Amino acid sequence: MRGPGDNPVAASYTGSCVDMSGLNPQQREAIYYLDGPLLVLAGAGSGKTRVITQKIAYLVQDCGFQPRNIAAITFTNKAAREMQERVGKLLSASQANELQISTFHSLGVRILREEAKALGYKPRFSIFDSADCAGIIGDCAKTVDKATLRRLQSIISNWKNALVTPEAARHLAANEHEALAASAYLSYEATLKAYQAVDFDDLIGLPVKLFSEHPQIAEKWQNRLRYLLVDEYQDTNACQYQVLKLLTGIRAQFTAVGDDDQAIYGWRGADIDNLKKLPAEFPALKVIKLEQNYRSTVRILKAANNVIAHNEKLFDKTLWSELGHGDPIHVTACRDNEAEAESVVMKLQAHRFEHRGKFRDYAILYRSNHQARLLETQLRNQKIPYLLSGGQSFFDKAEIKDIISYLRLLANEDDDPAFIRAATTPRRGIGAATLQALGTYAGERHVSLFHAAFEEGFAQRAQARQLEPLLEFCHFINRMQARATREPAQQVLPDLLKAIDYEAYLYDSEEQRTAQTRWANVGEFADWINRKGEEDGKTLIDMVQSIALINMLDKQNSDEIDAVQLSTLHAAKGLEYKHVFLVGVEEGILPHRESLDPVKLQEERRLMYVGITRAQRSLHISYCEKRKQARELIPCEPSRFIDEMGKDDIRFSGGKQAVAPDKATGSARLDAMKALLAGKR
């Protein structure tokens, strides 16, 4: 067995313990290469996941790497699960379980939990979700306007991902919103630290800080994770790039797999320059291109290649396929967006009937979420089942999360995020200053916020007006906790809702119609808890675990449902469908009207490329000649990307594109009749 330092490339490919049959030469080369840093340029549908999983198996079975010394990093939990399942078929269960296959953020959590002390955090620090963070930013910026909050949150997030400190942000602020974000950023960070909490971005940013300030800790993790494989490398931001560099160290033992033609997340901080940096910062970098596509027909790939050829290229690459020519691509011009939705659904129905397909074979893709509404209406009218990608889970609604925060706290009083949310929703005189002081004290004592509230040391620091409502809340939780462990759920939850007066809180803080909707959702949730509790004889504490499990399974099993997939183009990346309907392909939508400068336009073109390459067997594209906005019909132009696809393999129908030849023919006939009549005279 060879050791990690040996050169496996020099060895015969046929000598591997891993089954390499069915792999093309480029895939094999990518698997066997261990002489230094490697960039695998993996085109759409080129089998990159198989390359990564087979390489992991090769490292373990042929090269003497211990599974615990290998990390594979993805961008989504779904991708991590898929990779884990595939590797599980190549290695023993014990070997597969030792691997670190996770998202960047999950790896960040693992590092921070172990090294929290070095950064002044307790190991059980809290991770705040977007809603928790928005509340803090709102307090810091003194605003409750939701649009402003979203913008401030986005600006601060982008700064964090670019490793811009609060101090530096003050100098970088170029407009009113950035100036407001910069002033909120400093106090936001201080508040998080006081709460012994981190946000989503910190899960990457803090490991960079940790490794940069503590070289011995960096070396410890470099020795622990001796080989790194990074999926979707083109989606990394500046922060993630630094994590990669700091984790690999001078050995630079890594395989980065990505595709510059699918870099579509610039708007959330992804930096395509990370691809440009690799050859410069790692001179020994080997580049291998995977250009054979195993997903799509020749016509689909030809259209995709034609479109992306209009972009500046970091690396030249042309996808090809052995799956046959396939059906022509259909482009349909529709009268307006209502007609488009109707046309797409009717064509989908007819195509499915003709080919005896399943609903899950079909996807309808679009640029922006708002485009889904009319499509949903038509699908419901035709009784066609569908799944809305990125649609909000019932358990993710703010009012449901409010109630669940109480239930989480009853199940575990050390759950700090649940404590903060429950203590402040509805407001009961526990303000940000009180929670900051409590968070600072809890951090010093390495205890939860709940336990810190009862300690004499905190009582000496806090003012009576701060301490009284805090202890009142904690005693209330204790009383409900005692009941929740022994009484049926259907007895405890109604009393909890009545005690916190949540209905009155909704009507005080929202418009009447919104309050009614949200209170109805709470009622539906309570009915479900009560019914399940009664049916299964469970306490409220038991039901908290059930909720977590149901929510998790809800997100995991969507692939198994026979339903048409509705998705934005961004959410569809990495997925594939036999038949794709790409709608709203118009100037102003795709490309987006706010993305017409040269850099953003290239990203929009990559988005079109991603949409085309989701299709395996057939591709249907549509656009509107007019689009209804409010009560007006606005004229539309087909996207420039349709023209860039070329016309050889495209069949046009509807609107001007289809009728132009007919008009010409009609004109010619009219002229002929005029000539005939003139001759008879």
In tens, the pLDDT along 320-339 reads 999 999 999 999 999 999 99
Q: Of 251, 218, 230, 217, whose CA–CA distance to 101 is shortest? A: 230
CB 276 within 8 A of CB 308: no
- Asked if 232 is an active-site residue, the reply is yes
pLDDT category at 545 given cuts 50, 70, 90 is low
Which among 49, 100, 436, 491 is annotated as catalytic?
49
What pLDDT digit, counting tens, does each position of 169-211 carry?
A: 999 888 998 999 999 999 999 888 888 889 989 999 999 999 9
- pLDDT over 60 at 39, yes or no: yes
Residue 15: per-residue pLDDT: 59
pLDDT tens-place string over residues 157-170 = 999 999 999 999 99
Cα–Cα distance for residue pair 456/475, rounded to 1 Å? 16
Q: Check whether 295 has a pLDDT greater than 90.
A: yes
What does the mean pLDDT of the chain come to?
86
Cβ atoms within 10 Å of 442's Cβ, excluding its own: 26
Angstrom CA distances, 500 to 443, 597, 629, stand at 28, 52, 43
Q: Which of 231, 342, 399, 416 is catalytic?
A: 231
Q: What pTM value is reported for the model?
A: 0.75
Proportion of the chain in helix, strand, coil states, percent, rounded to 5: 60, 15, 25
- Active-site residue 414, yes or no? no
Catalytic: 48?
yes
Q: One of 153, 255, 262, 568 is an active-site residue; which one? A: 262
Examine the residue annotation and report whether 19 is marked as an active-site residue of this protein: no
pLDDT value for 603: 93
Distance (Å, whole) CA 148 – CA 309: 38
Q: What is the DSSP string of 162-223?
A: TT--HHHHHHH--SHHHHHHHHHHHHHHHHHHHTTEE-TTHHHHHHHHHHHH-HHHHHHHHH
Structure confidence at residue 433 (pLDDT): 85
Q: Which of 532, 605, 614, 627 is catalytic?
A: 614
SS3 assignment, position 632: strand
* Catalytic site includes residue 614: yes
Query: Does the active-site annotation cover 527?
Result: no
How much is the pLDDT for 389? 80
Choose, from 27, 48, 413, 616, the residue flagged as catalytic. 48
> Distance between CA atoms of 75 and 245, rounded to whole angstroms?
17
Confidence of residue 398 (pLDDT cuts 50, 70, 90): confident
Using alpha carbons, select from 609, 652, 564, 614 the residue that is nearest to residue 329: 652
Among residues 132, 232, 361, 604, the one annotated as catalytic is: 232
- Check whether 89 has a pLDDT greater than 60: yes
Given pLDDT bands bounded at 50, 70 and 90, which one contains residue 656?
A: low
Number of C-beta neighbours around residue 486 at 10 A: 10
Handedness of CA 100, 102, 104, 109 (dihedral sign): negative
Name the E strands within 370-440.
Answer: 386-388
C-alpha–C-alpha distance, residues 352 and 358, integer Å: 7
Q: In which band, very low, low, confident or very high, does the pLDDT at 548 lie, cut at 50, 70 and 90?
A: low
What the block records as the tokens of 597 is 């400068």
Give the per-residue pLDDT at 534.
Answer: 77
